[in-house]
Amino acid sequence: MLARLSGSPTLQLLLATLCGALLGVLDPALAVNMKPLSDAFIRLIGWLMPLMMFLLTAAGMAGLALRQRGLAGKVLVCFQGLAVLSLGLGCVVAELAQPGAGTVALAQPSLALKPAGFTWSGTTVLLSQALLHNPILQIMLAGLATGALINLTCARRLHALLERATALTFRGLRMLLRLTPLAAFGAMAYTLGKFGPTSMLPLLEFLGVMYLACAAFILLILAPAAQASGTSLWALIRHVKAELALVTFTGSSVAALAGLVEKLQALGCDRAVVRLVLTTGYSFNLCGSNLYLIIAVLFLAQMAGIELTATDLLTLLVVALMTSLGSTSMAGSAFFTLLVTLNLLHIVPADNAALLLGVERLMKCRVLTNVLGNCVACLAIARWQHAAQPATRRDESVPS
């Protein structure tokens, strides 16, 4: 039992965060010297970032295109609509709650992208500058173009090669993520050592705002969408409660994929629709990760004492809509996407994001929202595609 607990990534991260907090309180001078631990972790991820972004966007776009082209357009419309709604709701919640306001505890960038005044031309110029001067965004667009080219040529061998390269890169990232507890220790020790115990309060507020935003998205967006698709959200939750419990305890939405495929088919969704929507949704429809992305950026900006204009917020939403395409359901992917977004916008230094590692494993709301969002999207697209048949009994066998 003790060996199993000691091998738990969640327990390791929580213990590392607690040790860092204790060091920051008991020996602030030594704690401040722990900052290179988190900085090195961020730098290593930064080196892997360009390759990851290209492979994820190219393989994801190719995989979406190579299946059912008539269905692919509807999937993209549904996924991007949910992405816009989740990012917009997250922005509203973060601006109203202001979880990071009142505590200036983070470094500010030497140069921020902050055009004066709210003008569409200013936003267009800013996005053009981001495209011209940020290689990561260029790499993302190159990945999307590569995936589209594979779509047009039906080059299945190239798609298979992309998938293998992505799997190898994932393996490298998983090895790197083993250092997360060390990075969390360094970030927490430095923050408390330099700014005192009061700097923990905004972090707890951030966690509370995340749960609030996820609950609001489920109630205001997913519940009406499920009802319009012919199924009550609460009935859907009861139907997939075992998979939701699995996701909660493992922290991985991938663990529930097989069960969700069977459960949604049992609800009457066409088999091809279920497999297309759920598999592509693990890269293109992560509403909980979108909420985390937008709230985290605004939280870090508030902690750094940076006030964002309407143009800044609009630019943030547009850029986040693009960078969210690189998210996956793999552990650590949301944090990875956050670093990409910060590097593009220069609102705050990307190193500041290390502070959020302390609560990374506590955001079960994020992965649960991701799973529910994909289930509702599957129901909606099946109804839109006229590929849904009402299930006569909850315990009926899965259609072949």
pLDDT in tens, 322-360: 777 766 656 567 887 888 888 777 788 877 887 787 777
Given a cut of 90, is residue 175 above it in pLDDT?
A: no
Task: Kindly report which listed range (71-75, 266-270, 368-372) carries the lowest average pLDDT score.
Answer: 71-75
When comparing pLDDT for 105 and 78, which is higher? 78
Q: Structural domains in the chain?
A: 2-384 (1.10.3860)
What pLDDT was estimated at residue 369?
93
Q: Tell me the mean pLDDT in the region 74-96.
A: 90
When comparing pLDDT for 221 and 266, which is higher? 221
Instruction: Enter the pTM of the model.
Output: 0.70
pLDDT band at 55 (very low <50, low <70, confident <90, very high): confident
What pLDDT was estimated at residue 295?
94
When comparing pLDDT for 68 and 79, which is higher? 79
Question: Helices (DSSP H) in 134-240: which residue ranges?
Answer: 135-153, 156-177, 180-195, 200-217, 223-228, 233-239
What pLDDT was estimated at residue 116?
40
Specify the 3-state DSSP secondary structure of 269.
strand
What pLDDT was estimated at residue 96?
92
Task: Share the mean pLDDT of the chain.
Answer: 76
13-22, 113-122, 318-327: which is most confident: 13-22
When comparing pLDDT for 299 and 359, which is higher? 299
What pLDDT was estimated at residue 114?
45
What pLDDT was estimated at residue 392?
38
Given a cut of 80, is residue 87 above it in pLDDT?
A: yes
What pLDDT was estimated at residue 259?
77
Q: Which residues pair with 388 in a beta bridge?
A: 269
What pLDDT was estimated at residue 223?
94
8-state DSSP, 392:
S
Q: pLDDT tens digits for 139-170?
A: 767 877 887 787 677 777 887 888 788 778 77
When comparing pLDDT for 192 and 132, which is higher? 192
Q: Tell me the mean pLDDT in the region 61-77.
A: 64
Given a cut of 80, is residue 90 above it in pLDDT?
A: yes
CA 183 – CA 196 distance, rounded (Å): 19
Cβ neighbours around 203 below 10 Å, total: 22
CA 59 – CA 170 distance, rounded (Å): 13
What pLDDT was estimated at residue 299?
92
What pLDDT was estimated at residue 399?
34
Given a cut of 50, is residue 395 above it in pLDDT?
A: no
What pLDDT was estimated at residue 1?
47
What pLDDT was estimated at residue 351?
78
When comparing pLDDT for 225 and 11, which is higher? 225
